[in-house]
């Protein structure tokens, strides 16, 4: 397809100055910014706007980051460019809507099979195309033919969660987004020990209800942008897209453990206790592709199987990364000039450093967990002291600060509910990584 030599229009067709109903303006702008729908706006053969989801689908990472302003042909596989050109011409001249099965060109040069749905629209008397791409790779075999598995089988009928084929597609997109934003992502393999035996012991209606309850519990443990999949009756996989800190994956695993434990404490009729065992694998520390991350999570869960009462385990590389904890410094530069707060900060740093030192000496996990619990109580009293000080100051972020402190204590408590070497390591790291910015924030608050 030959792109015209004219400069493409760069104006956003959804900008409020266009004569469109406000609802369409809001919807168009939201879709353009969302990670949900892979689509592009095309005018005169050039892409004038694309959604992040389309760039993620193409694994658009630097230097293949921007596709806006480029010819549509630049993201179409060479073998299908004539077909796509004819498809676009038909949309503009003959048919208002149509679909075409073709291949797009990914950033690494591979061809991605998609179903391209298109529609022609008119914006300020200019004819444009809206092209939506649906990834077909989960439903196609290596020869490009359809898989024997029906499309309906891509989802677990009891929970509505994706199965393995669709999970791989969702995970690939999540990794592309994490790569593009230079952030981490994580895979959590959740095995519910004795869950299958429980389902077999129940009448079908009761089994369906407990499956639905477990599904709702897992959904509530993740964000809307994350994915929950089901591999078999008692194995689930959570894909956490674009996590900020490496601690976040372990904290999420701890929350899942707590939620599952609470669920089955309220339903004690199981033939044997239903225990959650979770393996955690983090991108890019533990792997950079879906298969490696899923395998790493499966290996990590083997460690969790040896833990009494359920538990979570981090992949080896992530454990090693978390283990690089250095002692904190506290000197004149950290002093606020408020004696009570300075003494509390000094005590918190000293007690945290003592735990870090003992962790490296190999002190048993139960003893370390007890020390962290004592620091947790010191933190509660310290937060009360800060709240009293902020109540009489002009600082206007006190409410947000209180919410953040409460969330931090909840995370620390959640991590320590299942005590083992890895959970204590994560708790110490989380405490360590929180203290450094906390001291800096305290100085800024006092200065304001």
Domain span at residue 364 reads 332-447
For residue 448, name the pLDDT band (cuts at 50, 70, 90).
Answer: low
Cα angle 219, 220, 223; round to 5: 80
The answer to whether residue 73 sits within a structural domain is yes
127 and 160 fall within a common domain: no
| Domain-terminating residue out of 74, 104, 137 | 137
- Quote the strand ranges of 295-374, DSSP E: 311-314
The answer to whether residue 404 sits within a structural domain is yes
What was the pLDDT predicted at 446? 65
Distance between CA atoms of residues 429 and 27, nearest Å: 42
Greater confidence (151 vs 210) lies with: 210
DSSP 130-180: EEEEEE-GGGB-TTSSBPSS-GGGGB-TTT--B-HHHHHHHHHHHHHHHHH
Pairing of strands 227-232, 111-123: unpaired
- Work out the average pLDDT over 4-33: 43
The answer to whether residue 325 sits within a structural domain is no
User: The CATH number of the domain where 292 resides is what?
Assistant: 3.30.70.270
The answer to whether residue 3 sits within a structural domain is no
Phi, psi of 259 (to 5 degrees): -65, -40
Distance between CA atoms of residues 276 and 61, nearest Å: 36
Distance between CA atoms of residues 402 and 116, nearest Å: 49
- Which of 278, 279, 280, 275 is closest to 308 using CA atoms? 275
Greater confidence (88 vs 267) lies with: 88
- Give the number of other CB atoms < 10 A from CB of residue 164: 15
- Which of 209, 171, 207, 204 is closest to 189 using CA atoms? 171
What was the pLDDT predicted at 7? 34
Please say whether the beta carbons of 48 and 41 come within 8 A.
yes
What was the pLDDT predicted at 344? 93
For residue 21, name the pLDDT band (cuts at 50, 70, 90).
Answer: very low
The answer to whether residue 187 sits within a structural domain is yes
What was the pLDDT predicted at 269? 61
pLDDT over threshold 80, residue 3? no
HSE (side-chain half, CA atoms, 13 Å) at 115: 8
Which pLDDT tens digit goes with each residue over 339-379? 999 999 999 999 999 999 999 898 999 999 999 999 999 99
Distance between CA atoms of residues 340 and 382, nearest Å: 9
Residue 222: C-alpha distances to residues 185, 248, 252, 351 (Å): 13, 11, 8, 33
Which pLDDT tens digit goes with each residue over 34-88? 556 788 999 999 999 888 888 888 874 444 457 888 999 999 999 999 999 999 9
314 and 338 fall within a common domain: no
Helix, strand, or coil (residue 330): coil
* Mean pLDDT, the chain, integer: 83
- Give the number of other CB atoms < 10 A from CB of residue 224: 6
The answer to whether residue 323 sits within a structural domain is no
213 and 342 fall within a common domain: no
What does the buried/exposed string (b/e) look like for 26-52 if buried means 16 or more CB atoms within 10 Å of the residue's CB?
eebeebbeebeebbbbbbbbbbbbbbb
For residue 321, name the pLDDT band (cuts at 50, 70, 90).
Answer: confident
What was the pLDDT predicted at 57? 82
84 and 173 fall within a common domain: no
39 and 64 fall within a common domain: yes
336 and 296 fall within a common domain: no
Residues 6+ apart with CB under 8 A from 399: none
Which pLDDT tens digit goes with each residue over 189-205? 999 999 999 999 889 99
175 and 311 fall within a common domain: yes
pLDDT over threshold 60, residue 22? no
Greater confidence (271 vs 134) lies with: 134
Distance between CA atoms of residues 301 and 234, nearest Å: 13
Tokens of 418: 């299942």
The answer to whether residue 10 sits within a structural domain is no
| Domain-terminating residue out of 292, 318, 344 | 318
Greater confidence (251 vs 333) lies with: 251
Which pLDDT tens digit goes with each residue over 137-190? 766 655 555 554 555 567 888 898 988 888 988 898 888 888 878 889 999 999
- Which of 263, 242, 251 is closest to 410 using CA atoms? 251
Number of structural domains in the chain: 3
The answer to whether residue 348 sits within a structural domain is yes
128 and 44 fall within a common domain: yes
């Amino acid at each position: 397809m030959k792109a015209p030599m004219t400069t493409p229009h760069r104006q956003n067709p959804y900008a409020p100055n266009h004569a469109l109903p406000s609802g369409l303006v809001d919807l168009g702008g939201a879709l353009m910014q969302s990670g949900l729908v892979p689509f592009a706006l095309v005018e005169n053969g050039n892409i004038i706007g694309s959604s992040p989801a389309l760039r993620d689908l193409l694994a658009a990472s630097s230097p293949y980051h921007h596709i806006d302003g480029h010819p549509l042909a630049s993201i179409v596989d060479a073998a299908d460019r004539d077909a796509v050109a004819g498809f676009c011409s038909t949309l503009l001249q003959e048919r208002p809507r149509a679909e075409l099965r073709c291949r797009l060109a990914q950033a690494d040069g591979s061809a991605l099979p998609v179903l391209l749905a298109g529609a022609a629209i008119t914006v300020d008397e200019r004819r444009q195309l809206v092209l939506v791409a649906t990834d077909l790779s989960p439903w196609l075999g290596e020869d490009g033919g359809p898989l024997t598995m029906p499309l309906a089988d891509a989802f677990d009928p009891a929970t509505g969660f994706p199965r393995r084929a669709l999970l791989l597609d969702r995970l690939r997109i999540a990794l592309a987004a994490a790569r593009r934003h230079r952030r981490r992502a994580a895979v959590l393999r959740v095995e519910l020990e004795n869950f299958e035996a429980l389902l077999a012991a129940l009448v079908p209606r009761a089994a369906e209800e407990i499956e639905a309850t477990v599904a709702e519990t897992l959904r509530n443990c993740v964000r809307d942008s994350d994915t929950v999949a089901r591999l078999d009756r008692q194995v689930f996989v959570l894909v956490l897209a674009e996590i900020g800190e490496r601690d976040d994956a372990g904290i999420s695993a701890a929350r899942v453990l707590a939620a599952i434990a609470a669920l089955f404490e309220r339903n004690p009729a199981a033939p044997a206790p239903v225990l959650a065992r979770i393996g955690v694998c983090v991108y890019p520390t533990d792997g950079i592709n879906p298969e490696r991350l899923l395998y790493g999570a499966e290996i990590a869960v083997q460690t969790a199987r040896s833990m009494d009462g359920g538990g979570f385990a981090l992949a080896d590389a992530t454990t090693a990364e978390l283990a690089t904890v250095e002692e904190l410094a506290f000197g004149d530069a950290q002093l606020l000039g408020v004696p009570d707060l300075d003494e509390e900060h000094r005590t918190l740093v000293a007690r945290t450093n003592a735990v870090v030192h003992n962790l490296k000496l190999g002190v048993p996990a139960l003893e370390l967990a007890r020390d962290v619990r004592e620091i947790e109580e010191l933190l509660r009293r310290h937060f009360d002291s800060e709240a009293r000080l902020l109540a009489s100051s002009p600082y206007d972020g006190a409410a947000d600060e209180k919410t953040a402190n409460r969330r931090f204590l909840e995370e620390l408590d959640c991590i320590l509910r299942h005590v083992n070497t890895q959970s204590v390591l994560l708790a110490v790291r989380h405490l360590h990584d929180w203290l450094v910015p906390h001291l800096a924030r305290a100085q800024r608050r006092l200065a304001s």
